[in-house]
């Protein structure tokens, strides 16, 4: 059965399954894994897991579960990934070093293909075996690397400049790790943003028991 185009929510869950299977394989995966096990481990309904997998194709047999490595490869192919998916990382040298600690890319199937900083004094620093360049050097990005995604963790004042330079270099997707609230999205670019200040405020509200009490007297 040919694969179908999945909605955004399904694509997100497929990437979640992909990350989970990657870690499972790394530590020693069982011979088979069922949709129920995936559902239980990730807090998702079993029928949702089955429906998500159906978008990828006809994998496994009903009731027999899946070979984790085969399932992982199918997800990798469907999501358009590779064993070392290339990405650009933008931030100060200190931030890039910190990201290497909390996000060891080799464990998650991605491979930094270029590091860029907004600080001129960072140019020439080496982080994770790669030399940091200044943001303005993005115009000379080697297109043969096939990089389409960037992780942007620069200071708020440099976010828009970074996005515009990335778009000019052929980058079509960006994950923002920055507290900036308003941005102008470059044409043709898809942006996913983690707004930590907003998330912290929302969490604080939930922890204070405010949710569901609006309008109550």
Backbone angles phi, psi at 38, to 5 degrees: -60, -45
Number of structural domains (the chain) is 2
CB atoms near residue 210 (< 10 Å) = 11
Decide if pLDDT at 215 tops 60. no
Do both 99 and 41 map to the same domain? Answer: no
Do both 34 and 141 map to the same domain? Answer: no
Do both 89 and 193 map to the same domain? Answer: yes
pLDDT score for 216? 46
pLDDT tens digit string along 126-172? 998 999 999 999 999 999 988 999 999 999 899 999 999 999 999 99
Range of the domain at 37: 8-78
Do both 164 and 93 map to the same domain? Answer: yes
User: 68-78 vs 8-27: helix axis angle to the nearest 10?
Assistant: 140
Do both 163 and 191 map to the same domain? Answer: yes
Question: Quick one: CA dihedral 205, 206, 211, 217, positive or negative?
Answer: negative
pLDDT tens digit string along 16-70? 998 899 888 888 888 899 999 999 999 999 999 999 999 998 887 666 889 999 9
pLDDT band for position 205 (cuts 50, 70, 90): confident
| pTM attached to this predicted model | 0.72
Decide if pLDDT at 178 tops 90. no
Mean pLDDT of 117-129: 95
Do both 117 and 185 map to the same domain? Answer: yes
pLDDT score for 1? 44
Decide if pLDDT at 217 tops 60. no
Do both 31 and 120 map to the same domain? Answer: no
Decide if pLDDT at 95 tops 50. yes
pLDDT tens digit string along 182-199? 899 999 999 988 877 777
pLDDT tens digit string along 56-86? 988 876 668 899 999 998 998 888 776 678 8
pLDDT score for 62? 62
CA distances from 128 to 89, 93, 100, 118 (A): 12, 11, 7, 18
Do both 105 and 188 map to the same domain? Answer: yes
């Amino acid at each position: 059965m040919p694969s179908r185009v999945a909605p955004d929510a399904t694509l997100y869950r497929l990437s979640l399954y992909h990350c989970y299977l990657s870690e499972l394989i790394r530590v020693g995966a069982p011979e088979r894994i069922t949709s129920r096990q995936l559902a239980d481990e990730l807090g998702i309904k079993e029928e949702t897991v089955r429906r998500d997998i159906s978008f990828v194709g006809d994998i496994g047999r009903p009731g027999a579960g899946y070979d984790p490595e085969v399932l992982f490869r199918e997800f990798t192919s469907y999501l358009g990934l590779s064993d070392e998916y290339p990405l650009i990382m933008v931030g100060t040298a200190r931030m890039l070093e910190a990201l290497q600690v909390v996000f060891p890319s080799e464990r998650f199937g991605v491979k930094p293909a270029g590091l860029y900083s907004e600080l001129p004094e960072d140019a020439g620093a080496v982080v994770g075996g790669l030399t940091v360049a200044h943001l303005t050097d993005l115009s000379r990005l080697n297109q043969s690397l096939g990089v389409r995604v960037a992780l942007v963790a620069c200071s708020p004042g440099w976010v828009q400049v970074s996005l515009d330079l990335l778009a000019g270099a052929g980058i079509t997707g960006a994950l923002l790790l920055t507290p900036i609230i308003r941005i102008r999205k470059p044409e043709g670019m898809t942006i996913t943003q983690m707004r930590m200040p907003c998330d912290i405020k929302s969490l604080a509200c939930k922890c204070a028991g405010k949710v569901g009490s609006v309008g109550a007297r």
